[in-house]
Structure 1
């Protein structure tokens, strides 16, 4: 494990006991938490994206705010649902955030996860999909997005324009050098991972796989990672791609943490999500020395270079910063992480 960071679902709304977390509070707390983690030397802060839900839906303003107020932490998404995106507008926004952050963007995109609505992307104006889950739409949008960030022209220049004129096709602006190397695809199964390797983008793998072979989740995910890397090599891409996995991991060092997470540790689960038989990864919650022993046995964590910790953002900045600092001090070094500030 070379890097670790946090993955936030960005939930807001009623908290119980008459308390409510507003959308504004959620975003401002995310910025404050990222600033604290930047000081600790944590490597990344990443956000889930969900539409028609009380969660982060339009992450670029948030990522830009974090990028502008931090120095080294990677800012990213895990993942943006490409079914909902205008690929040229996303290319402009991604380049802008990448430039503001001096190349610290980790843009995770994919088909997206199950939603609270039916074919919500059609309400955004994106119709014509022949797939019941819109996978064809997501990949078409993604292909256009990659062409845009690679500098391909899309609109015919006006030779009579008072703003420069010329002939040929004009690319979107701004362009950010190296942005392509900071794009990730969120794969839920081996076929999707193989496709990402062939295309030549990094791989994000979550705590859910839409596969169920009877194997433990970590072994199934490790195989997915190997499938991705093999496809990358077979396609002849240069360099070494990055791979991230996410986990629910809670070091228990205080009575409060035990109250929230004690007894939460469970095994892998098999279920059906979005109509597909799927494998859900376990939750790790224990004292730091126990966590180290357990995580060292996790085949996918051993294979990936980046680990994303899912955090309970509703519990506030101070609580989450303490959980992250505890992981950085007592767990991460045993997994291979070398921190510079903690």
Structure 2
């Protein structure tokens, strides 16, 4: 494990007991937490993206704010739902954040997760899908997005323009060199992992896979995805090495408060139906640091990936989450091969 970071689901709203976390609270706390993580030398901070829900729906302004307040940490998403995106506008925004951050954007995109609404992307104006889950729209949008960030000319210049139109085709501006290498595809199964390797983007695999094999644990299913991805990458002849991240629910228990919230949460893998597909969900790791080290060393996908993203209970505030991250950084991650980015 070369790198680790956090993946926040960014929930806000009522917390119980008359308390409520507002959208502003959620974003401002995310900035403060990212600053603390940057000082610890943690490698990345990413946000889950959901529309029509009390979560992050427009993450790039938040990533820009974090980038402006930090020095080293990668800022990213896990994942942006391409069914909802204007590909060219996303290309402009992504390039802007990448330039502000000095090339620290880790942009995770995909078809998206199950929604709280029915075909919500159609309310955004993206209709005509022939797929019940809109996968065809997502792939079409992603293809155009890649062309845009690669610098391809996509609109004809106007030679009569008083603003220097000229001749030929104009690319999207701003353009950030190297952004293409910092794009990740969130794959839920081996087919999408193979496709990501073939087209040459990094692989992001979450806490579930939309596959289930009798008797095969989640980490081994995910490790299979990674192998398929890397094989496709090599066969396509892409230069360099692709990056791979996996996500896990991990809570180092070092205080009575953590024990109260998460003690006894060591559950096993779960198999269920999501979006009409039989899927496997990874287990939660919640234990003392020395126990976590031994458990995580046995996780086949963590051993195969270069980056581990731990999901955090963001509703519990900056102090609690920074303690979780610091405990992992001090007492668990070094035993898995990680080194801090701090000089």
TM-score by length of 2: 0.99
- 1:181 deviates by 0.3
The correspondence of residues 146-225 of structure 1 with structure 2, limited to 5 A, is: 146-214=146-214, 215-225=216-226
SS in structure 1 at match of 2:222: helix
RMSD between superposed Cα atoms in Å: 0.8
- Aligned residue in 2 for 1:70: 70
Aligned pairs (5 A) from 1:48-87: 48-87=48-87
Q: CA deviation at 1:323?
A: 0.3
Partner Cα separation in structure 1 for residue 341 and residue 137 of structure 2: 42
Q: Which residue number in structure 2 is paired with residue 43 of structure 1?
A: 43
Q: Which runs of 5+ in 1 are unaligned?
A: none
Q: Deviations over 1:3-62 (max 9, x none)?
A: 000000110000000000000000000000000000000000000000000000000100
- Separation (CA, whole Å) in 2 of partners of 1:125 and 1:265: 43
Indicate the SS of the match to 1:245.
strand
1:265-312 alpha-carbon deviations (Å, 9 max, x no partner): 100010000100000000000000000000000000000000000000
Unaligned stretches of 5+ residues in structure 2: none
Q: Distance in 2 between matches of 1:98 and 1:148?
A: 14
Contact 2:43 2:341 in 1 (8 A): no
Q: How many angstroms apart in 2 are the aligned matches of 1:290 and 1:279?
A: 24
Q: Which residue of 2 aligns with 1:239?
A: 240
How far did 1:168 drift?
A: 1.4
Residue in structure 1 matched with residue 117 of structure 2 by the alignment = 117
| Deviation beyond 4 Å, 4+ runs, structure 1 | none
Q: 1:298 corresponds to which residue?
A: 299
How far apart are the structure 1 equivalents of 2:138 and 2:69? Answer: 32
Q: How high is the TM-score relative to the length of structure 1?
A: 0.99
> Does the CA contact (< 8 Å) of 2:201 and 2:242 recur in 1?
yes
Return the alpha-carbon distance in structure 2 between the equivalents of residues 114 and 57 of structure 1: 14
CA contact (8 A) 2:84 2:126 kept: yes
CA–CA distance in 1 between the matches of 2:35 and 2:235? 40
The equivalent of 1:320 in structure 2 is 321
Q: CA offset at residue 341 of structure 1?
A: 4.0
Per the TM alignment, residue 340 of structure 1 is displaced from its structure 2 partner at its CA by: 4.4
Taking the aligned partners of 1:339 and 1:216, their CA distance within structure 2 comes to 31
Spell out the pairing of 1:212-291 with structure 2 (5 A cutoff): 212-214=212-214, 215-291=216-292
Contact 2:72–2:341 under 8 Å retained in 1: no
Tell me, in whole angstroms, the C-alpha distance in 1 between the residues paired with 2:25 and 2:148. Answer: 34
Structure 1 residues 340 and 148, CA gap change in structure 2 (3 angstroms): closer
1:134-184: CA deviations, max 9, x gaps? Answer: 001000000000000011111111101011021111111000010000000
SS in 2 for 1:10: coil
The CA distance in 2 between the partners of 1:239 and 1:204, in whole Å, is: 17
Tell me the alpha carbon deviations over residues 177-210 of structure 1, each in whole angstroms, 9 at most, x when there is no partner. 1000000000000000000000100000000000
Distance 1:176 1:235 in 2: 24
The superposition leaves residues 201-220 of structure 1 with CA deviations (integer Å, 9 ceiling, x where unpaired) of 00000000000012100000
Aligned to 1:136: 136
CA apart distance, 1:97: 0.1
Q: How many residues align?
A: 342
SS in 2 for 1:203: strand
- Structure 2 residue matching 1:244: 3-state secondary structure: strand
Secondary structure at the counterpart of residue 80 of structure 1: strand
